[in-house]
Structure 1
């Protein structure tokens, strides 16, 4: 489990950003208006709140920076030495110390300002004290600007460091540059370390993970090391030295026996001896018991992958044995043994029961395996006859049919777009003979007027024809209802001719000016109008469907009513046809269905008038919600907060 994850360190802002963030937060989170009539005590509380809130923001942000960065004295020695190698330890501590000092100074400034504001006698004095306190706080932050910038650079670099667990099982890869260390790590792990045909391609530590015996091992790739004095080594080499000194791991030292890396074997062997001696001295200096291990020599090739897994398995096995021996030598082992209890069963007879599988069971198992080998499976036949895609086993071989020849017959499952099984019954042959015998297979001209009138149809067929016509009329009616309330044809209100200038009288005057008789044109336009209501008390219909005047009315109808009654002679609405309830609609009778249709048209009327496609359209119930258009607004747009 990784104990140190430097990627979670909070970003350190620059000094200008630090001041802008804190002051803007104070401006947004505290009141900004002093109203007339406020007492001096309320004015003091107003400015005290601003000073305390600003000091609290500075204190929280600076404390976060100090707590997130690791302290060199409290972390693992491996990371402590790695930080000393990569950065200057004194500069690092000095930067954190300056941040801590700035936090304390800001707290003192706020404390002094609070004491002075409590005794302020006017609005101007309290405001001046507040401005002075905030200015001094910003000045302190500006002075520690270089420290903030330095810590941000360190944070970015530390975020790129690998997450190495110093206490887990680790394989450490080291050696001269360009000897195949990174290639080996890429072979045994899923790490993607850059590999190039020149020295010092790897300039920092890289980590990969591999599995052995259901355990996870950590593989660390280190930069190349040269055989030279300790004082002359650079930062890249010191990263490898730090890993060798502090990680308890199985060290794999790589040599290139072909000397194609640019270094001869004698120099490489000399470095091996020196590195081993330094590691032993380091363990003694740390108070640990060094293990005297002469090591084992393996040969491998990253190109052909010969010996790669053997080296990995040998290293993991030796490391595992070493860790087990250390645990057995520790004092914790005696405490653990006291917790175990081994139960020894009491023998009930003199019969021997060895801890093994009985011979009879082994013989039965061997016999079953022989029987399995003799029987060929479908997969065996498939492999013998060319494999998948070439040989396909018969799925109809074990069908139980009257004739075995029918097993290979090809039966269509889909015919003319229909599923054959849906139309198959046990008496399908008899039905087919009856249909052919009655002659109903032949096509009939349904559109013939004589047949549709029912003159040449039997009473049974006439009843069928009536039911079909009712069904067709009900479907047409449903389609018309759906079309009238369709979402694609909303009823949009009329937006032109609001003053009613385009009238039939104007049209008549224009036609008369041209020398034409406008009577027929006006009558035709009036006959097409359906917007006016007829006077039911004056107009009625006779048995032939023509409009006549009601003679019971006492007064004589005027010309306007007579013209209106004549104009509506053609546009009389037909009586509604009967609404048919189709089984499955969910209505008990036609009256319930008519009521449901009326409610549906009524609910869609407003939506269609607003030109909405449906209920899923974006609805804005309130054009100016209060939570978006209330409170303080910053400089800029005021349409949205």
Structure 2
């Protein structure tokens, strides 16, 4: 895990944002109502509370910034120098120092004006002192706008830095720009570093991870370094210098033997000699890259001599190419093993190594004379050893041990399956056919031996016999006498048919009394009705004349009873002179007419009527979504009544009234 987590630093607000947050919080979290009629000590406490709250808020905000930003002197030397290269140590310290001074100034202003408020003699004077105190604090924060902006940029850049552990084992790739460092990084690790054919593609440190011998290793890709004095190197190159100087690592120095990077082998060798002080006490692996473009044997004699000279300065030399990933795998194995040996040697060298070696010591005694000194044992133990006689094993036990050894040999792959099966022919079992059965001991987490029942077949036969007996008894009980007679069967069918008719009639009547039914859908014509009435013994001529008379006359607008009207197929009732008497039969309402004349006239086509119905339903749905009863429902409830929410009430001292 990384030692430092710079990503958790809280964002730094600007001066204006800090002022808005603190002043609005002061107004929000302190009382806002005061009157001149109050006692003077109450007025003083009112304004003193505001000054103290504002001072403490500024103090907390600035203290949080100062605590979260790392101190360069407390960091690991690698991170200390890296922050110095990236952000300039003096500028960084100056910004934090200015915020620390601003915090102290605000604390002193708060203390000073609280003292002045103790001697204020009126509300106006207290208010002016409060105003002056908050104004001075805000002026101090305004002066720190540049420092706050700088620290916010530093925080953003710190969050983008790779999490490099300066203590764990690392492989660092170094060399001229465009020699293949990023390509090697992508092959060894899963890091997806950008690779381009031009120089200085990598402008900062990139980190990847790889596994070797069940441990995790860091692989750090550094920007390219040019061969010029240290004072002339820029920020990009200084990051590489910092990593090489402070991290315990194995350095992989890459050389482009093809010269496609833009630098000759002589220049790359000179850079190696210049950087040699940074390689002290570190294993160095010389990597001859891009051998697919120009093999080593095709180089000139002078270039070969230069490479041989650099090989003598380095610990190990390897040839690699991006088109041969297996070479990179060998390179990683050799480099990691080399660093592991170096770390072990350093650990056991010096005073610490002596202490470690003293803890683990194996003594090898030397022979001093020819006197025999055998092991001493108690007499009782000797008697036990002499009395113990191992019983002779039977032939069956010997065979079983032999079979077990054969099975273990087959499991280890020492003998083939055919030989193992030959040995199974010698198994001693109740049935010879069982010799080749494969019976596992455990299935689904359960022991098979717990579920083995030797009498299972016998029990199964008994169960089958019992089932057959039950079936025979059931068939015998079902006698022909239980069947229905022809009359009963006919009566049963009539009952079922009558029930179906009743269900259909009930379903037709339910909820459909006032529904409009056209003549074609009624299923009966006038002739059918006439035949039905004749079957019932009713005179159809009178009914026919009555229906003609009803058609010829216009419909009455009132529900008065028409006296003197012939009412067919019903008993005549006594006539009354009162016209308000109740009608014997209720007239059909107007709303049950087949098609309205207005709709047929305005929208003669059925498509138009369907579209109008869809639009009507859409308008109704919109009203229903707003929980309105109709178009006339314009009720608007007050969501936040002022009488309930206005004013300020302290918690637990007042009711909402």
Determine if the TM-score, normalized by the shorter chain, exceeds 0.5.
yes
Q: Is the 8 A contact 2:251 2:279 kept in 1?
A: no
Q: For residue 5 of structure 1, report the CA deviation from its aligned partner.
A: 2.1
- Confirm whether residue 363 of structure 1 aligns to residue 398 of structure 2: no
- Tell me: CA distance 1:327–1:42, structure 2 relative to 1, closer, same or farther (3 Å): same
- Confirm whether residue 321 of structure 1 aligns to residue 341 of structure 2: yes
Farther off after superposition, 100-109 or 297-306: 297-306
- Tell me: CA distance 1:3–1:469, structure 2 relative to 1, closer, same or farther (3 Å): farther
Q: For residue 180 of structure 1, report the CA deviation from its aligned partner.
A: 0.5
In structure 2, what is the equivalent of residue 223 of structure 1? Answer: 223
In structure 2, what is the equivalent of residue 115 of structure 1? Answer: 115
Q: Is the 8 A contact 1:546 1:569 kept in 2?
A: no
Farther off after superposition, 145-154 or 129-138: 145-154
More helix by share: 2
Query: Over residues 491-521 of structure 1, what are the superposed CA-to-partner deviations in whole Å (9 max), with x where a residue is unaligned?
Result: xxxxxxxxxxxxxxxxxxxxxxxxxxx9835
Matches within 5 A, 1:331-370: 333=356, 360-365=406-411, 366=413, 369-370=416-417
CA distance in 2, matches of 1:35, 1:245: 69
Q: Is the 8 A contact 1:176 1:226 kept in 2?
A: yes
Query: Over residues 402-424 of structure 1, what are the superposed CA-to-partner deviations in whole Å (9 max), with x where a residue is unaligned?
Result: xxxxxxxxxxxxxxxxxxxxxxx
- Tell me: CA distance 1:474–1:134, structure 2 relative to 1, closer, same or farther (3 Å): farther
Query: Over residues 276-335 of structure 1, what are the superposed CA-to-partner deviations in whole Å (9 max), with x where a residue is unaligned?
Result: 33332899xxxxxxxx99421111111343412111222222233333444555468579
CA distance in 1, matches of 2:345, 2:511: 87
- Tell me: CA distance 1:62–1:314, structure 2 relative to 1, closer, same or farther (3 Å): same
Structure 2 gaps of 5+ residues are 284-311, 362-376, 391-403, 422-488, 516-552, 562-568, 590-620, 628-634, 649-657
Q: Is the 8 A contact 2:410 2:417 kept in 1?
A: no
CA distance in 1, matches of 2:360, 2:185: 39
CA distance in 1, matches of 2:356, 2:190: 36
- Which of residues 552, 555, 571 is equivalent to 1:520? 555
In structure 2, what is the equivalent of residue 459 of structure 1? Answer: 491
SS of 2:100 mapped into structure 1:
helix
SS of 2:217 mapped into structure 1:
strand
Matches within 5 A, 1:611-622: none
Q: For residue 132 of structure 1, report the CA deviation from its aligned partner.
A: 0.3
- Which of residues 315, 320, 328 is equivalent to 1:300? 320
SS of 2:558 mapped into structure 1:
helix
Q: For residue 102 of structure 1, report the CA deviation from its aligned partner.
A: 0.3
Q: For residue 372 of structure 1, report the CA deviation from its aligned partner.
A: 11
- Tell me: CA distance 1:627–1:307, structure 2 relative to 1, closer, same or farther (3 Å): farther
In structure 1, what is the equivalent of residue 58 of structure 2? Answer: 58
In structure 2, what is the equivalent of residue 428 of structure 1? Answer: none
- Confirm whether residue 104 of structure 1 aligns to residue 104 of structure 2: yes
In structure 2, what is the equivalent of residue 248 of structure 1? Answer: 248
SS of 1:308 mapped into structure 2:
helix
Matches within 5 A, 1:413-562: 458-469=490-501, 520=555, 522-523=557-558, 560=580, 562=581
In structure 2, what is the equivalent of residue 422 of structure 1? Answer: none
Structure 1 gaps of 5+ residues are 284-291, 339-345, 352-357, 375-456, 484-517, 528-543, 572-607, 615-619, 634-641
> May I ask how many residue pairs the two structures share in their alignment?
431
- Tell me: CA distance 1:467–1:126, structure 2 relative to 1, closer, same or farther (3 Å): same
- Tell me: CA distance 1:169–1:58, structure 2 relative to 1, closer, same or farther (3 Å): same
Matches within 5 A, 1:81-230: 81-230=81-230
Farther off after superposition, 230-239 or 174-183: 230-239
CA distance in 1, matches of 2:416, 2:219: 43
Farther off after superposition, 58-67 or 183-192: 183-192
Q: Is the 8 A contact 2:410 2:420 kept in 1?
A: no
Q: Is the 8 A contact 2:249 2:282 kept in 1?
A: no
Q: Is the 8 A contact 2:109 2:137 kept in 1?
A: yes
Q: Is the 8 A contact 1:547 1:566 kept in 2?
A: no
Query: Over residues 353-398 of structure 1, what are the superposed CA-to-partner deviations in whole Å (9 max), with x where a residue is unaligned?
Result: xxxxx96454333487535999xxxxxxxxxxxxxxxxxxxxxxxx
Q: Is the 8 A contact 2:210 2:216 kept in 1?
A: yes
In structure 1, what is the equivalent of residue 21 of structure 2? Answer: 21
Q: Is the 8 A contact 1:207 1:220 kept in 2?
A: yes
- Tell me: CA distance 1:462–1:159, structure 2 relative to 1, closer, same or farther (3 Å): same
Q: For residue 164 of structure 1, report the CA deviation from its aligned partner.
A: 0.8
Q: Is the 8 A contact 1:200 1:223 kept in 2?
A: yes
Q: For residue 246 of structure 1, report the CA deviation from its aligned partner.
A: 0.5
Q: CA RMSD in A?
A: 4.5
- Tell me: CA distance 1:475–1:48, structure 2 relative to 1, closer, same or farther (3 Å): farther
Query: Over residues 249-290 of structure 1, what are the superposed CA-to-partner deviations in whole Å (9 max), with x where a residue is unaligned?
Result: 11111111111111122222232233233332899xxxxxxx
SS of 1:19 mapped into structure 2:
helix
In structure 2, what is the equivalent of residue 402 of structure 1? Answer: none
SS of 1:252 mapped into structure 2:
strand
- Tell me: CA distance 1:364–1:282, structure 2 relative to 1, closer, same or farther (3 Å): closer
In structure 1, what is the equivalent of residue 631 of structure 2? Answer: none
Farther off after superposition, 145-154 or 220-229: 145-154
SS of 2:151 mapped into structure 1:
helix
Rg (Cα) greater in structure: 2
- Tell me: CA distance 1:253–1:621, structure 2 relative to 1, closer, same or farther (3 Å): farther
SS of 1:255 mapped into structure 2:
strand
SS of 1:171 mapped into structure 2:
strand
Q: For residue 29 of structure 1, report the CA deviation from its aligned partner.
A: 1.8
Q: Is the 8 A contact 1:547 1:569 kept in 2?
A: no
- Tell me: CA distance 1:177–1:125, structure 2 relative to 1, closer, same or farther (3 Å): same
SS of 1:458 mapped into structure 2:
helix
What TM-score does the superposition give when structure 1 sets the normalisation length?
Answer: 0.59
Q: Is the 8 A contact 1:244 1:279 kept in 2?
A: yes
- Tell me: CA distance 1:6–1:466, structure 2 relative to 1, closer, same or farther (3 Å): same
- Confirm whether residue 310 of structure 1 aligns to residue 349 of structure 2: no
